[in-house]
């Protein structure tokens, strides 16, 4: 559903989850999120953890996406075989690396993803594998992260890669790469973000980014982002602080 909404020009909202607990995913699934990103890059999640979390997301019709550890075909394969409906690939800094990510996600003829009767294919129990391959190639979401100086310098070649659904600004690593770690409002960092937003805006893909709160989400919607992700920690901390502040007020 998330990919279809993006193709229709809608804005989608998701949450990063880095904890290996399907119960958390199930509870979040009741809140109206479009998708969740299970964070294997900055979390301790393995393929088995993600497989159970994918099951929990599917209960509520939430699109399960995995942020993989690295842009390598065997790694992407293992996480996609869990049934995840998309992958978010970090540290993509050239057109060749973006093309590698797409080819790792897609089956032939577009890509080189290995085929087996795994959970992603319903264990080959529902439809022929040939039909599943076509379905997966059409529906699997590809998110490429732009988060280095090199990526900004090579933006034009990166956004020309076919079959990328979202180009995602990784704000923290981007600020770090430019030499201003954590200073997301630094003029140099903001200039780079503006350049990314403008370049992606001229492509066929959607712009995505990470936000810390609703105000930042609204700001990025105005800047053209349509794939917006918040961290579970941000949601929890704001909710707990808000509760305590209100409860302690006399």
Q: Which of 42, 48, 110, 218 is catalytic?
A: 42
Q: Nearest to residue 184, comparing CAs of 196, 173, 198, 200?
A: 173
Q: How many CB atoms neighbour CB 75 within 10 A?
A: 18
Query: At residue 183, what are phi and psi to the nearest 5 degrees?
Result: -90, 75
Which DSSP string do the residues of 213-243 spell out, in sequence order? SHHHHHHHHHTTEEEEEEEHHHHHHHHHHHH
Cα dist. 107→61, 102, 104, 114, 130 in Å?
24, 10, 8, 7, 10
Q: Nearest to residue 140, comparing CAs of 4, 242, 41, 235?
A: 4
Q: Is 42 a catalytic residue?
A: yes
**Residues catalogued as catalytic:** 42
């Amino acid at each position: 559903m998330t990919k279809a909404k993006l193709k229709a020009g809608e804005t989608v909202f998701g949450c990063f989850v880095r904890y290996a607990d399907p119960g958390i995913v199930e509870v979040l699934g009741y809140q109206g999120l479009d998708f969740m990103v299970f964070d294997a890059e900055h979390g301790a999640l393995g393929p088995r953890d993600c497989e159970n979390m994918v099951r929990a997301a599917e209960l509520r019709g939430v699109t399960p996406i995995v942020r993989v550890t690295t842009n390598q075909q065997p790694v992407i394969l293992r996480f996609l075989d869990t049934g995840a409906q998309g992958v978010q690939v970090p540290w993509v800094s050239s057109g060749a690396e973006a093309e590698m990510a797409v080819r790792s996600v897609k089956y032939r003829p577009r890509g080189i993803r290995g085929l087996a009767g795994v959970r992603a294919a319903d264990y080959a129990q529902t439809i022929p594998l040939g039909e599943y391959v076509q379905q997966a190639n059409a529906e699997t979401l590809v998110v490429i992260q732009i988060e280095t100086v090199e990526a900004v310098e090579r933006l034009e070649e990166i956004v020309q890669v076919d079959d990328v659904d979202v180009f995602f600004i990784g704000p923290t690593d981007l600020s770090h790469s430019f030499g201003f770690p954590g200073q997301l409002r630094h003029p140099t960092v903001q200039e780079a973000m503006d350049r990314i937003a403008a370049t992606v805006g001229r492509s066929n893909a959607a712009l995505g980014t990470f936000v810390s709160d609703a105000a930042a989400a609204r700001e990025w919607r105005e800047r053209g982002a349509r794939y917006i992700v918040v961290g579970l920690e941000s949601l929890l901390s704001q909710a707990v602080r808000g509760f305590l502040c209100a409860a302690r007020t006399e």
